Amino acid sequence: MHGLSPRVRQAFQSITTHSRHQNGAVLFAAGEAAQGIFVLRAGKVKIAASSNKGKSLVFRMAWPGEVLGLSATVTGNPHQVTAEAIGPCEADFVERADFLRFLDRRPEACFQVVQMLSHEVRGVNEQVRLLHAARSASGRLAMLLLTWCAESGIQTDDGIRLSVPLTEREIGQMLGASRETIARLLGKFRDSHIAEHSGRDFLILDKGALQGIARAQANGGAQPDQPRFANVKLPTAQPEAG
């Protein structure tokens, strides 16, 4: 709960319970009644849902500082997504009754909750834009890598480093593509010296080339799933993680 006055922040901390979760632990599941909110303090959490056909669809990753389960806790509706720990993580938990009482007594916090809910909506819209702006999986993958660069990339002398604890299958679920397609595209990125991938670690070697692929795909410049990596001539952007 960033942006709160010290007094309100202290009041919020007084109703939290710190918890540790192992890899694969489910903080809450789609369809469950909301028990409260989780403020992620360390680690990463995968936000996913199931399609009508029963397939798991990964929406995004949550990073430290994010509040999870906020919408369901405020509205009283069941969770629409599942939050699963990716590796060990730590979170502060606040029971729903305590959180609603906290909001009732502190209007300052209500305003911030409205902002966070608005941010959630923007995140959903961004995911929709990601899926529809690019005509092919290569464009969507380029856009996703650029998004991760902005969110958590670390600039080094070699390039922008990313730690992404998702499998190729889970990345494919985010982009509406198969694991095989993601593996093939990452291989093309590697061969074109655009990005390297080893386990959960990515190294973005040429951010400008990724921007060119994303821009060309969004403008309909390449046929679906046939990225013209060799034709990307945009200059490499100045080194930056954001």
Q: Model pTM?
A: 0.68
Domain with CATH 2.60.120.10 in the chain: 6-131
What's domain 6-131's architecture? Sandwich (2.60)
120-174 pLDDT tens trace: 666 665 665 655 555 688 888 998 899 889 888 999 999 999 988 888 988 888 8
Tokens of 40: 């992620």
Phi, psi (5° rounding) for residue 190?
-65, -50
**pLDDT cut 90: percent of the chain above it:** 46
- CATH code linked to domain 134-231: 1.10.10.10
Structure tokens given for 61: 């990753």
CB-CB contact of 45 with 86 (8 Å) = yes
